[in-house]
Amino acid sequence: MNEERAVLAGGCFWGMQDLIRRYDGVLSTRVGYTGGTEPKPEYHQVGSGTTGHAESIEVVFDPAKVSYEKLLDVFWHNIDPTQKDRQFPDWGRQYRTAIFYHSKAQMDAAIASKNHWEKDGRFGAPIVTEIVAASKFWPAEDYHQKYYLKSPEDYHRYHDHSGREEYFEKIWRKKEKMSMSDLKNKLTPLQYEVTQKGGTEPPFKNEFWNNHKKGIYVDVVSGEPLFSSEDKFDSGTGWPSFTKPLEPSNIVDKEDRSLGMDRTEVKSEQAHSHLGHVFPDGPAPTGLRYCMNGVALKFRPA
């Protein structure tokens, strides 16, 4: 099997593991410590700030299913890269953000991604995330591994009160987003229910589930490009389905535990519209099924 490794530091490693392990193509994850000098460090040593290590996650992935660039995109969407030696409620050198590269290709990709977001300017301050060569990765104690499963109540209590979600809403929501009254005037009641309240349209009753014309699909609110007819396939579900987005940076993935299920919600980056969900049961080459609500889309013919 073709495998690669990525090591990322994004603050508390509990949340990073819960987030990244969800992506199809991620073969395994483990949390640990790296970037310092102390061999075989223990949690209390790293917490003292004397080892130089950062709480990190090691990701083993299949690049044929999920690219290193996609993992970097997920990383940037889930940290505050402007904070030095801090992430949300956690302070100290061990909570710095960093990308630890294993090859020149990974280094180049990391630098390119950092440059992209620096030019974008949405974070409102200089990016201080480090890009450094990977060193020895020391796995954390067993009770830290998959903490979201071993101690779900403690984990969700920490996550829900960390301030992360509020920060992400502020950074990734389009600043010029329309008011609710403007949206209600622009959209049909069903479009509003789906895109703004996370609703789901009935299957087989939207205009795009069986559309075979060539063109692109854009966000019904903002017009940002989302999917291409080249990647559309008949999933048999009654909703338009795609193997991948047309422009990955216009798509935001977010964990969704509503309705008693563990799913990955898909939103548009600019308008923050709810589009649908992505599932790991699609065809080649990605193995993914982006199952979208037709009313959240507009079609632009070729």
* Count of H-run helices and E-run strands, the chain: 9, 17
Do 227 and 292 meet the contact criterion of CB atoms below 8 Å apart?
Answer: yes
**Which one of 8, 54, 251, 291 is the catalytic residue?**
291
Q: Do the bridges between strand 97-101 and strand 130-133 make them parallel or antiparallel, or are there none, so unpaired?
A: parallel
Question: Would you report the helix, strand and coil content of the chain in percent, each value rounded to 5?
Answer: 30, 25, 40
Cα-Cα end-to-end distance for the chain: 38
Candidate list 6, 7, 8, 12, residue with the active-site label: 12
At residue 171, the 3 state secondary structure works out as: helix
**291 annotated active-site:** yes
Contact 76, 116 (CB under 8 A): no
245 to 55, 138, 231, 259, 286: CA distances (angstroms): 31, 35, 8, 25, 11
φ and ψ of 212, to 5 deg: -115, 10
Active-site residues: which are they? 12, 291
